[in-house]
Structure 1
Amino acid sequence: MKKLILSLLMVCTIVPVFSQNKLSEEQKKEGWKLLFDGTNLNSFRGLHKNENVFKGWTVENGCMKTLQPGNDEAGGALITKKKYADFEFQWDWKMESKGGNSGVKYYVLEELSDSKKSGIGLEYQMLDDNNHEWMLNGKMQSGDFHTLGALYEIYPAKNRKINPLDEWNTSRIVSKNNHVEHWLNGVEILEYERGSADFKEKVANSKFSMYPGFGEAKKGHILIQDHGSVMYFKNLFIREL
């Protein structure tokens, strides 16, 4: 019982608790910043200054929402106007589309991609695993590096506590001195070292092998992906470490 209580206390001290799209004075002193205040998308822009990106997003009931894809020019990923080095980023999200696909990318460098809709960077995968077409056709296996919480194409996530489709989840990325952690609903599900021999080997065996130094940038943008699924995001908080 004592061990259980201690474990719960540790989780409570590790996982930040935020009000709806708001920061307390204490959190401000700790360096936290809002990326979304529930009313506008002013912290973001499109890749390569693509203004059409905002045709694929809306603000609804205090949430950022992706719209169903329309014409080929509308929609696409949002990236932060600012670049980040060491950081902690936490966000709430829910997926409305069955079999949906999305993600949050970090250390994104625009010069690596000529696309105005999808940037190149490390990706915290967000997926409806069991209903996704890759799972249904055997291209993806349960718990592999394409599933929810994984570092897409590189490392799988473990010990995931996943809330059902159309319910809220809380995700977090912590990156400091090249040590990176992925969290889901208060549980650490993945950790790795950027630039390590193991990391380099896995990148070399991935579809990102064509990009020299992939994932090792000192600074990069945070990217919120629009992959054609209806997604909701709120409580996007970040601090530099």
Structure 2
Amino acid sequence: MKNLRLMIVGTATALSAVACQSNQQNTEKTAGQAVSATEASATSPNTLTAAEQAEGWVLLFDGNSTAGWRGAYKDAFPEKGWKVENGELIVIKSDGAESRNGGDIITEKEYSDFELTLEAKLTPGANSGVKYFVTERLPKSPGSAIGLEFQLLDDERHPDAKMGKSGNRTIASLYDLITAKNKQASPIGEWNQVCIVSDGKHVEHWLNGTKVVEYERGSTAFRDLVAGSKYKDYENFGEAEQGHILLQDHGDEVHFRNIKLRELKAKGTASVNQD
């Protein structure tokens, strides 16, 4: 018989791909097309459809409060630097410095196998990111907390786009490690659909319905990339079994909404090979 585990993990990844694409279609409808009352209800920001609930999706942001989040290396949500307004979680513009105003925020819970989707809207010249497998066991850095990062950046205006290697600090890239390919970012001031899939060691970045990054955590290729990056001095960088989801405060105004997560179970249910 074929390897049962590979079959199940492959199915889980395929389902994730469908979800990453379908969430983009919902965003496009709510952005500009006329929709029926039923469709509008199903795609309202910061809500879950009955189908999403049945599939195990949960909201990480309810549109009204900061419940479920706290400051990185802190016990509570930052007292400044962030606000909730019009159903959006917003980084308040300061001086563009990394995590020096309100600071990064992280989920109270930690996750391992998951699919995360959210919408992010950049302002001109903005820099931010969505990090995952963030652990506070690593030494606190003077800037942002350490973790794998889905870069959010105004590539045209922010100088970070020209730093790093071969564009690996541009929007949707695995920051300082892997450059996003075939990406179609929304214009500044419009929503981007972000999707991150972590299934076992396999990770994917999706931007606006297109897969733009794919890699294996802990592989030789991954470790070689880390060795040539700014993370080279962090032992076992990116290889934690689980970690927090993080939204970055880089001193620029950035808006987030529709933050949803589904924990993937397929990896754990098929640990025995049948040949």
Q: Distance in 1 between matches of 2:237 and 2:153?
A: 23
What is the letter of the counterpart of residue 62 of structure 1?
A: G
Q: Distance in 2 between matches of 1:203 and 1:86?
A: 21
Cα deviation code 1:25-58 (max 9, x no counterpart): 2211111000011100111001122547241100
Q: Distance in 1 between matches of 2:18 and 2:54?
A: 21
What is the letter of the counterpart of residue 92 of structure 1?
A: E
SS at 1:198's partner residue? helix
**Match status 1:48 vs 2:73:** yes
**TM-score scaled by structure 2?**
0.77
Aligned equivalent of 1:6 = none
Contact 1:21/1:37, CA 8 A, preserved across alignment: yes
* Count of residue pairs the alignment pairs up: 228
Structure 1 pair 206/14, CA: closer, same or farther in 2 (3 Å)?
A: same
Contact 2:77/2:105, CA 8 A, preserved across alignment: no
Contact 1:66/1:232, CA 8 A, preserved across alignment: yes
Equivalent residues in 2 for 1:112-127 (5 A)?
112-115=138-141, 118-127=144-153
Contact 1:90/1:170, CA 8 A, preserved across alignment: yes
Cα deviation code 1:176-195 (max 9, x no counterpart): 01100000001111101111
Q: Identity percentage over the alignment?
A: 45
Structure 1 pair 77/20, CA: closer, same or farther in 2 (3 Å)?
A: same
Pick the aligned partner of 1:61 from 86, 103, 107. 86
Equivalent residues in 2 for 1:1-241 (5 A)?
14-16=21-23, 17=26, 18-49=43-74, 51=76, 53-69=78-94, 74-96=101-123, 98-115=124-141, 118-135=144-161, 139=163, 144-241=167-264
Q: Distance in 2 between matches of 1:79 and 1:230?
A: 18
Structure 1 pair 173/76, CA: closer, same or farther in 2 (3 Å)?
A: same
**Structure 1 unmatched runs, 5+:** 1-9
- State the 1:214 CA deviation: 0.5
Q: Distance in 1 between matches of 2:222 and 2:21?
A: 26
Cα deviation code 1:44-88 (max 9, x no counterpart): 001122547241100110000111227997401110000001000
Q: Distance in 2 between matches of 1:13 and 1:227?
A: 26
- Tell me the C-alpha RMSD between the 2 structures: 2.3
SS at 1:105's partner residue? strand
Q: Distance in 2 between matches of 1:50 and 1:116?
A: 18
What is the letter of the counterpart of residue 78 of structure 1?
A: I
Contact 2:231/2:237, CA 8 A, preserved across alignment: yes
Structure 1 pair 204/79, CA: closer, same or farther in 2 (3 Å)?
A: same
Cα deviation code 1:187-224 (max 9, x no counterpart): 11110111111001000111111111100111000000
Contact 1:169/1:184, CA 8 A, preserved across alignment: yes
What is the letter of the counterpart of residue 153 of structure 2?
A: L
Cα deviation code 1:151-179 (max 9, x no counterpart): 00110000011111111111100000110
SS at 1:129's partner residue? coil
Aligned equivalent of 1:4 = none
Tell me which structure has the larger Cα radius of gyration: 2
Contact 1:174/1:181, CA 8 A, preserved across alignment: yes
SS at 2:224's partner residue? helix
Q: Distance in 1 between matches of 2:101 and 2:158?
A: 24
